[in-house]
Amino acid sequence: MQPVEITKDVYWVGVVDWDCRNFHGYSLSPRGTTYNAYLIKDEKTTLFDTVKSEFTGKLLCNIAHVVKPGDIDYIVVNHVEMDHSGGLPEIVAKVRPEKIFCSPMGERALKSHFDVADWPIQVVATGESVSIGRRTLSFLETRMLHWPDSMATHIPEDNILITNDAFGQNLATSERFADEMDRSVLYRELVRYYANIVLPYSPITLKIIDQIKSLGLRIDYLLPDHGVMFRGPDVAYAIDSYVAFATQKPTKKAVVVYDTMWHSTEKMAHAVADGLLSEGLSVRIMNLHVVDHSDVMEEVLEAGAVVVGSPTHNNGMLPRVADLLTYMKGLKPKNKVGGAFGSYGWSGEAAKAVAGWLTDMGMEMPADPLRTLYVPKHGELAKCVEMGRIIGKAVNARIG
């Protein structure tokens, strides 16, 4: 895909990865992704970030449609993660830039990733600015959104904010702007990206958004390093979405997720869902045989309740459930009501173990873990329905 002019002399020169289906090896990306790089033509022509190493040739080709690669004077490294810096060694060798700008932690990361002995690195911090001619680059460190080196660059003359991974989506499309996209598709990919990558840094996200607002930065273009770009009213749409995601207010939605061997825990899951439905909650039932942990987290982000079921297997839970809980705990969801259930044959530890994990995540647990010996009968399924009702009432009480 060829470069796209964003505004006069400002270009998207990134690449579309149509084939990516597993982002960084831990989160499915069913719609592919992009690695966005940006180029500004000015007295000091400047490139912002690069791409995954195997796409460096395409990046150079896109740059060549705008300027000769050797005419690039400056490179800004907003983020050192390899999907944005993988092409950097080859680009630096071909371009031989006058300066490479990065954050203090960015310098440390670059030195740990590459041989940078002869690279003209210049460290910049929040509040520092660099003139490139008609434009100014103003830097804002965004540490732990989502790496220590993360940095954003504001160009006040064009009201542009280049945000690295913040506001990104794993979305491979020929459209480059949010206003060209199906809104429901865009929203789901914003949710999915936030839930699986940015969620543990929600307090930092809110703090940085407050900082941007307090600085009075005017933003007409919000340019992330993945997915489509935001312009005009869609800038507020992206920022407001992130505030909502980071705040994690309780909602009338519940996720019931489970694994099962002989369908007993599955029957319990559906009975719990019936109880939740009876309290007016919207329910997503997710079988770990057919969904990935990243699919679950996409739903968990905007849920008020998370109810997890597992049969007992070798005195513990099934591996897929253990995987989900480990993954979920690392992402640190907040403001959730939890519940645990499962069938067993002789020892029955799984439901209690699941409840322990959910408790450790800070979830409110209004009902005791529920377990059923072998196959649930009518009375036991009725207890599952009642558990769903108890959890549903707890969610409704939080919403008020």
- For the question of residue 194 being annotated catalytic, the response is no
- For the question of residue 378 being annotated catalytic, the response is no
The set of residues, in sequence order, having a beta carbon less than 8 Å from that of 183 and lying 6+ positions away, is: none
* Structure confidence at residue 20 (pLDDT): 87
pLDDT digits (tens, 9 = 90+) for 268-314: 999 999 999 999 999 999 999 999 999 999 999 999 999 999 999 99
Residues of the chain with pLDDT under 70: none
- For the question of residue 154 being annotated catalytic, the response is no
For the domain bounded by 254-394, which CATH number is listed?
3.40.50.360
Task: Judge whether 102 and 77 are in contact, CB under 8 Å.
Answer: yes
Q: How many Cα atoms are found within 13 Å in the side-chain-facing hemisphere of 21?
A: 2
Task: Judge whether 280 and 392 are in contact, CB under 8 Å.
Answer: yes
Strands (E) in 127-187, as ranges, are: 129-131, 136-141, 151-155, 160-164
* Structure confidence at residue 210 (pLDDT): 95
The set of residues, in sequence order, having a beta carbon less than 8 Å from that of 105 and lying 6+ positions away, is: 141, 143, 147, 148, 149
Catalytic residue among 11, 38, 73, 146: 146
- For the question of residue 270 being annotated catalytic, the response is no
Cβ burial of 280 (10 Å; 0-12, 13-18, 19+) is exposed
Catalytic residue among 79, 84, 154, 313: 79
Catalytic residue among 226, 266, 298, 302: 226
Locate the domains of the chain by residue range. Answer: 4-247, 254-394
* Structure confidence at residue 148 (pLDDT): 94
pTM of the entire predicted model: 0.95
For the domain bounded by 4-247, which CATH number is listed?
3.60.15.10
- For the question of residue 65 being annotated catalytic, the response is no
- For the question of residue 81 being annotated catalytic, the response is yes
Instruction: Match 């939605």 to its residue by tokens.
Output: 253
- For the question of residue 180 being annotated catalytic, the response is no
* Structure confidence at residue 164 (pLDDT): 93
Catalytic residue among 17, 83, 149, 259: 83
pLDDT digits (tens, 9 = 90+) for 357-369: 999 999 999 999 9
* Structure confidence at residue 25 (pLDDT): 85
Catalytic residue among 49, 73, 165, 295: 165
- For the question of residue 83 being annotated catalytic, the response is yes
* Structure confidence at residue 26 (pLDDT): 85
